[in-house]
Chain A
Amino acid sequence: MTAKMTMVQALQQAMELKLKEDDRVILMGEDIGLNGGVFRVTDGLQAKFGEDRVIDTPLAESGIVGTAVGMALNGMIPVVEIQFLGFIYPGFEQVVSHVSRLRARTQGRYQVPMVIRTPYGAGIRGPELHSESVESFFVHVPGLKVVVPSTPYDAKGLLIAAIEDPDPVIFLEPTSMYRALKEEVPEDKYTVPLGKARVIEEGEDISIFAWGAMVQVALQAARKMKEQRGWTADVIDLRTLYPFDRDTIKASVEKTGRALIVHEAHRTGGMGAELISFINDESLFYLKAPVARVTGYDVPVPFFSLEDDYLPTVERVSRGIEQTITY
């Protein structure tokens, strides 16, 4: 049985399934109970599972992440919602100093399986600090897995996999994709494995890597260039940023000989740099052109009147494809 649903509905189903089948799973966050979360991702779950399992916490990100660590130490599986990625910083210390390290520090005696879900990214005309895309911070921290779904199907399967993963997972939900598209999603439980990319389209001339909201931009640009110039592309949704899917990246780049990375995060120190480095290490002599990046800029994500100028667009990505192929 499948149903057509948005990413919001798919995420909600994932959490409902896990709350139902595993008593250890609890949801914690600001306004997630009665209000169902500011994006309504947890809508109705408190009514179904009660205030002790879908918990409206005090407004304190460090307290939320910190008490979730305690919960996890004591055998629970907390699924934490941080209202926006731009608000995670008070809890960042807990993530970096403890969430990511407790397993190693105690040589496996303790583990802190937990998921920190948070809406992220620009494109919905949000106020200041509601549009950040700082996935690199988390990718850089040893001990964390970083996952970014771009479709309803993947969102559900990845979130279930993240909740079932024995390690902490940062789960970044692209706000502009929450309701942007609907697709058929199985009603039953399934998982999408962490660490595996998805090849959305296959082609010969270039490999395009993206995640989150940029997947659609990359896809549209690839289709446009195919139509206009006859070039075909591998369009690959990385889905997991740490550990990223090395085999899929390598195989694709070695097939096409060209690569382009699209991300909305700031350019310097962004995930794109890591991927370019990986491609250089693994596949340098297959390359026919330098690996290109189309990214956000090294500026704070601007106020929304300029956010479209900050974000990679179909035009910018198309130009990146053209420049790389005609290099």
Chain B
Amino acid sequence: MRKSMEEQFPVRQILSPEGKLIESVDGWIDDELALDMYEKMVINRTFDRKSVTMQRQGRIGTYAPFEGQEATQVGSAMALDDQDWLFPTYRDHAAMMTFGQSILRVLLYWKGRIEGCVPPEGKHILPPYVPIATQIPHAAGVAWSSKMKGEAVASIVYFGDGATSEGDFHEGLNFASVYNAPVVFFCQNNGYAISVPMSRQMKTKTIAQKALAYDIEGIRIDGNDIFAVYLHTRQAVEKAKRGEGPTLIEAVTYRYGAHTTADDPRKYREQEKEEKIRREKYDPVDRLRRYLESKGLWDDEKEQALVQKAETIINQAVKEMESYPAPQPEDMFEHIFAEKTWNIKEQQQQVAEESDRQRKSVQKELA
């Protein structure tokens, strides 16, 4: 009998939900790395919860939470080398921060500040992509040019299950396949594109199988198993750098919360029930903790210290974000072109005069 696609693309797991190793990670993941993964996941989760709260308090704008997807993002971003390129969506701040974007910048982004798009010097982290799947050809293009230049540099591009319905997903995979570009297509399949479940998004049971159409490698992994995420992403990155082409990784995961803080998931799924099961059984952070505990690497005291550390780090960044100098209206005219056109100059001047008038009238009122 022919194997089904689910059989051909089994969900690969290294760490069971109970935190037991299914296969050896010797030579790939040592204790230090495992502890680092755990710390990063906890810090990111703390960030995410804090951000949701701050949105409710009106301290930042609409926010896209990622809780539940820490392993997919942290594990994959940890698998990159410094000079690699990362193309995130608006839900991938855990990946961005893991790869080196500052917490402050990410907060600024959600505070409605364009400064939040700027990566640290020397790091290739693109700003969050808002239109679905449009980043995929960019990653293919960067990777393709890395290959042309003879550089051993890989690109990783994040997207969700819904993005695989977009033309840009297929065009990006096709270009990368035709030119054998060193790119990792990293799909976080969290089961829902806002409200539409995977079963209504596609007939296929897996996303990994879509790689077949482009004759590239496709694999399906347990996205809540950070060891599997790290290992398979690392292998894909190394393969890309050896000139062996792109890989499509489908990391099966789940977002606990809403699509964004402006969305109510109770409208389209049994939110409480699903979330409870997911958290109890499949949580990516708890899974790694169970493993660390079983190895004697973790205990309540360490946990408390880490929670404390995470809160301190996040609170510090929040403080910096809230004391960040206010934007000036004239700023919106910067960097539209390398050199301002007359139109931009003229309009910037008008805005400067307008804000000057406003300042003066406020001063007058105060006086």
Contacts and interface: CB of A to CB of B under 8 A. Distances in A.
A251 B166 CA distance: 49
B118 A106 contact: yes
Contact of A142 (B114, B175, B336, B338): B336
Contact of A71 (B115, B141, B338): B141
B343 to A, nearest CB: 6
B353 interface: no
A105 B137 contact: no
Given A70-B143, A142-B336, A143-B337, A107 B134 contact: no
A255 interface: no
Interface in A44-93: 52, 57-58, 60, 62-63, 65-76, 90, 93
B342 to A, nearest CB: 6
Interface in A96-141: 97-98, 103-111
Interface in B109-152: 114-115, 117-119, 126-127, 130-131, 134, 136-146, 148-149
A70 B142 contact: yes
A71 B85 CA distance: 12
A165 B146 CA distance: 23
A170 to B, nearest CB: 14
Contact of A105 (B114, B141, B341): B114
Nearest to B177: A58
A110 B119 CA distance: 10
Nearest to B137: A66
A71 B137 CA distance: 10
Q: How large is the interface on A (under 10, 10 to 19, 20 to 34, 35 or more residues)?
A: 35 or more
A243 interface: yes
A18 interface: no
B266 to A, nearest CB: 31
A246 B143 CA distance: 41
A249 to B, nearest CB: 11
Of B137, B142, B155, chain A has the most CB atoms within 10 Å of the CB of B137
B338 A103 contact: yes
B174 interface: yes
Of A67, A93, A167, chain B has the most CB atoms within 10 Å of the CB of A67
A52 to B, nearest CB: 6
Contacts of B140: 63, 66-67, 70
A65 B138 CA distance: 9
Given A69-B141, A70-B141, A70-B142, A166 B338 contact: yes
Nearest to B332: A104
B131 A76 contact: no
A58 B145 contact: no
Contact of B118 (A52, A75, A109): A109
Given A75-B145, A97-B131, A105-B127, A70 B139 contact: yes
Given A62-B137, A62-B168, A74 B338 contact: no
B351 to A, nearest CB: 14
Contacts, number: 129
Nearest to A246: B342
Given A67-B144, A97-B131, A107-B115, A60 B334 contact: no
A65 B145 CA distance: 14
Interface string B324-367: 00000000001111110111000000000000000000000000
Is chain B's interface secondary structure helix, strand, loop, or mixed overall? helix
B338 A104 contact: no
A18 B139 CA distance: 26
A243 B167 contact: no
Nearest to A108: B335
B178 interface: yes
A301 B126 CA distance: 40
A66 B172 contact: yes
A18 B155 CA distance: 28
B335 A104 contact: yes
Given A58-B175, A62-B171, A70-B143, A143 B336 contact: yes
Nearest to B127: A105
Given A107-B334, A109-B118, A60 B171 contact: yes
A98 B127 contact: no
A219 B119 CA distance: 51
Given A68-B141, A69-B138, A90-B167, A243 B341 contact: yes
B338 A97 contact: no
Nearest to A61: B171
B145 A93 contact: no
Contacts of B155: 70
Interface string A229-264: 000000000000011001000000000000000000
Contacts of A195: 341
Contacts of A295: none
Contacts of A63: 137, 140, 168, 171-172, 174-175
B96 to A, nearest CB: 13
B117 A105 contact: yes
A94 interface: yes
Nearest to A67: B141
Of A69, A111, A145, chain B has the most CB atoms within 10 Å of the CB of A69
Contacts of B127: 105-106
Given A66-B136, A71-B142, 16 more contacts: A52-B148, A62-B134, A66-B134, A68-B141, A69-B141, A70-B141, A70-B144, A70-B145, A73-B126, A105-B127, A106-B118, A143-B336, A143-B337, A166-B338, A167-B338, A243-B343
20 contacts: A58-B178, A60-B174, A62-B137, A66-B136, A66-B140, A67-B137, A69-B138, A69-B141, A70-B145, A73-B126, A73-B141, A75-B145, A90-B167, A94-B137, A106-B118, A107-B117, A108-B334, A109-B118, A165-B338, A243-B341
